[in-house]
Structure 1
Amino acid sequence: MDLQEFEGLIAQVTDKLQGRDVDASLTAYLDEVVPSDGALFQKITDACHVGVADGWLCQHSAGGIDYGRAIKQGPATHGFSVDVVRMKDLKGPHHAHPNGEIDMNMPIDAAAKFDGAGKGWLVYGPDTAHHPTVTDGEALVLYLLPDGAIDFTRN
């Protein structure tokens, strides 16, 4: 697995998002078309673990969080950027999502939750904000950001 193959896996997800609003209803749609117990979800999870081990994902560290932008927004991922973070029992830096945020929670520890949600998808609509928080263990979280838009704040 390398970054190009990873991008191909992500494109299989972002292709399904074309023309859809990034809002809470998208969570149920993603649960249906890319279920957390399905093959594509597992392939992306496996690829994330390989990427972390090989150093092309989560290559930066600060405040107990390993993170990195793996893919800039562009045509290959239908305008979405891809960031991956690794967190353990931690509240991350506050940020806003001008165009929304699609999160794929991949628990490393089975009980780990991202913003209160277990393994699977969580979607924040445009103009939302939060402190990304992992509880009950360690998790990898993949962020799909429309147009790569994210605003870190001082809250």
Structure 2
Amino acid sequence: MSHPQLASAKDELIARCLRFLREVKDMTAGAEVEHWLNTRYGVGSELYQNLSRLIAIGVKEGWAADVEIAGPRYRRARLVEPCVETCFFSITAVLMDSTGNTQHNPEGSFRGDYHSHPYGEFNMVVPLDKGAALAGPNGWCHGGWTAPSPGSHHYPEAKDGAVIALFFLPAGRIAYNVEPPQQRCPAA
């Protein structure tokens, strides 16, 4: 008698993401969708708990957020390219850890690469350290979802430890060729 091969954590993560993406494929990221995501799939939901567990396994096993962007405290990896099965979303994992950073940002936060979301983003935030948070369009997210709207742009920013973000980009679109706003000098 043969035993069916057990799915890897990555295969299980992707399978669970595919069901989620079929549900949100026609939604446009923004405040209303962010509220819906946190109400339907917030921290206590089965989907959030399963994806959180699987992406944390991925970080430990080295297949999620394994490409260093600025050392081991800022890593990412695209897990799946946009395709028919993903409803043309990409799936990417990013790890950000503010611990011991020397950027001197407010609240000791760590900032990643400035970028824009041409078609928006669905972003699941998983704190790896108690109290860790990722900045979202509606403030600090200590676990749950953010949904930057189409055309939005920002520095990804983490504070109070490590977070992993599992983000879903319509058409895989993210742009790093945008310039951050210029800081104004206070008037004398």
User: 1:7 corresponds to which residue?
Assistant: 14
User: 2:141 corresponds to which residue?
Assistant: 117
> Structure 1 vs Structure 2: percent identity of aligned residues?
24
The whole-number CA distance in structure 1 between the counterparts of 2:69 and 2:41 is 31
Paired residue type of 1:128 = S
Bigger Cα displacement from structure 2, 47-56 vs 133-142: 47-56
Is the 8 Å Cα contact of residues 28 and 120 (structure 2) preserved in structure 1?
Answer: no
The whole-number CA distance in structure 2 between the counterparts of 1:19 and 1:93 is 28
Please say if 1:152 is aligned against 2:161: no
Runs of 4 or more off by more than 3 Å in structure 1? none
Q: CA deviation at 1:33?
A: 2.1
2:78 to 66, 69, 84: 69
User: 1:48 corresponds to which residue?
Assistant: 55
Q: CA deviation at 1:18?
A: 2.4
Q: CA deviation at 1:101?
A: 1.1
Q: TM-score, normalised by structure 2?
A: 0.78
The whole-number CA distance in structure 1 between the counterparts of 2:134 and 2:20 is 20
The whole-number CA distance in structure 2 between the counterparts of 1:124 and 1:39 is 23
Q: Deviations over 1:19-42 (max 9, x none)?
A: 222222101111122121111111
Greater share of residues in strand = 1
**RMSD value, Cα:** 1.3
Q: CA deviation at 1:74?
A: 1.4
Is the 8 Å Cα contact of residues 11 and 76 (structure 1) preserved in structure 2?
Answer: yes
Q: CA deviation at 1:50?
A: 1.3
Q: TM-score, normalised by structure 1?
A: 0.94
User: 1:107 corresponds to which residue?
Assistant: 127
User: 1:128 corresponds to which residue?
Assistant: 152
Is the 8 Å Cα contact of residues 21 and 86 (structure 2) preserved in structure 1?
Answer: yes
User: 2:33 corresponds to which residue?
Assistant: 26
The whole-number CA distance in structure 1 between the counterparts of 2:141 and 2:59 is 22
User: 2:117 corresponds to which residue?
Assistant: 97
Runs of 5+ consecutive residues of structure 2 not aligned to the other structure: 1-7, 99-109, 181-188
Bigger Cα displacement from structure 2, 127-136 vs 16-25: 16-25
Q: CA deviation at 1:137?
A: 1.2
Which is higher, the Rg of structure 1 or of structure 2?
2
The whole-number CA distance in structure 1 between the counterparts of 2:150 and 2:47 is 26
Paired residue type of 2:95 = R
Runs of 5+ consecutive residues of structure 1 not aligned to the other structure: none
Aligned residues between the structures:
155
Is the 8 Å Cα contact of residues 13 and 34 (structure 1) preserved in structure 2?
Answer: no
Paired residue type of 2:66 = Q
User: 2:185 corresponds to which residue?
Assistant: none
SS of residue paired to 1:57: coil
Paired residue type of 1:103 = N
